Structure 1
Amino acid sequence: MPEFDDLLAANREYAEDFGLSGFDGIAHAGIAMVTCMDSRIDPLRMIGLAPGDAKILRNPGGRVTDAALVALVLGVTLLQVRRVLIVEHTRCAMASSTEDELKGRVGDAAGTDASWMTLGAIDDQQNTVRADVLRVRSHPLIPDDIAVGGFIYDVDTGLLNPVT
């Protein structure tokens, strides 16, 4: 697979001084973050953490999907997560188009109909973050003593802004 040669070479270099061998897999800083898959976001560094400190869950828009919720339940019950951050961001493609517009763009790019898919366009980021925070806080398998906060990350300044 020559398409991956550059990445495999970089991986070999990374593995030369790999420091997480034997790591136990828990979140050593007790943090989990649900955030967008946007490549402008560096989830660990933006909150001063390093590999091994947190569980990072990424998807389009940074939504608390069913799969993200399962991961959070596992994190708080088995992996020592005590704080959960829900982080959307400015200039997000999922928040700058309607569902129909996104489906049209995907369909055009793929050359086939995408109208059957649910992509998850976000109408109002502040309200979406609030709803996702509530979804986590109200889950019966997430204890009340778990701190859950909602934020919008500014991709132009690097700052996290709390959503109240």
Structure 2
Amino acid sequence: MTTVDARDDPSSLESSHSVTDVLAGRAADFAAARRSSGQPQARSARPTTGVAVLACMDARLDVHALLGLGEGDAHVLRNAGGVVTDDMIRSLAVSQHELGTTEIILLHHTQCGMISITDDGFRDKLLERTGARPDWPVHAFSDLEENVRLSIARLRSNPFLAATTSVRGFIYDVATGELSEVTL
């Protein structure tokens, strides 16, 4: 029987292993490579670009590769839909007031799953599957560009974020790889 190294191909895992085991192994390899390369072990939590990115959690959206970011360049915050929630505002406020970021980039994408659901429909699904209906908002939306515009406006008007903050919104096309700016 031929064994494929699961670090290269997580789909080849035997049932007794989890993807988390593979990823934890990769983290150990990363730490060892970092030590042997002489890279500093501790870096500043302050992003070198002064940028915070709020993006959708979609696996097709590689924020670092898309924007040409390296380790330590930006704070990258993600959730379903890249929605400006109270918790994202909390994180952005810490990013600004404690760690010096001055620009916020909103990064949404085409074919977003949040467009294909509704708040009530998703809550009903959770009720059916778990026996409990959440009281938190799902933040589904039907118009991608309008959602980006609303997100920009919400951030620009938020009292916890600096009035001088640059807030810009973009849509990533998952089919072409192109990025388009959305303006108010």
Indicate the TM-score class for this superposition, using the shorter chain for normalisation: 0.7 to 0.9
2:10 aligns to what? none
- Equivalent residue in structure 1 for 2:77, among 57, 65, 69: 57
Indicate the residue corresponding to 2:143 in structure 1. 124
| Residues 1:134 and 2:153 are matched in the alignment | yes
Percent identity reads: 32
Query: Residues 4-153 of structure 1 correspond to what in structure 2 (within 5 A)?
Result: 4-18=20-34, 19=39, 21-108=41-128, 110-114=129-133, 116-153=135-172
Q: TM-score, normalised by structure 2?
A: 0.79
Change (3 A) 1:116 1:64: closer
Count of equivalent residues: 163
What residue ranges of structure 2 are gaps of 5+ in the alignment? 1-15
Q: Is the CA contact (8 Å cut-off) linking 2:126 and 2:134 kept in structure 1?
A: no
Instruction: State the 1:30 CA deviation.
Output: 1.0
CA root-mean-square deviation? 2.0
Deviation at 1:107, TM superposition (A): 4.4
Aligned with 1:17: secondary structure? helix
- Structure 1 length-normalised TM: 0.88
Q: Name the CA shift for 1:163/1:16 in 2 (closer, same or farther; >3 Å).
A: same
Structure 1 unaligned residues grouped into runs of 5+: none
Q: 1:20 to 1:33 in 2, by over 3 A?
A: farther
Which of 1 and 2 has greater Rg?
2
Question: What is the Cα deviation at residue 115 of structure 1?
Answer: 6.3
Contact 1:83 1:148 in 2 (8 A): yes
Shift of 1:116: 4.7
Secondary structure of 1:88 counterpart: strand
Q: CA deviation at 1:148?
A: 0.3
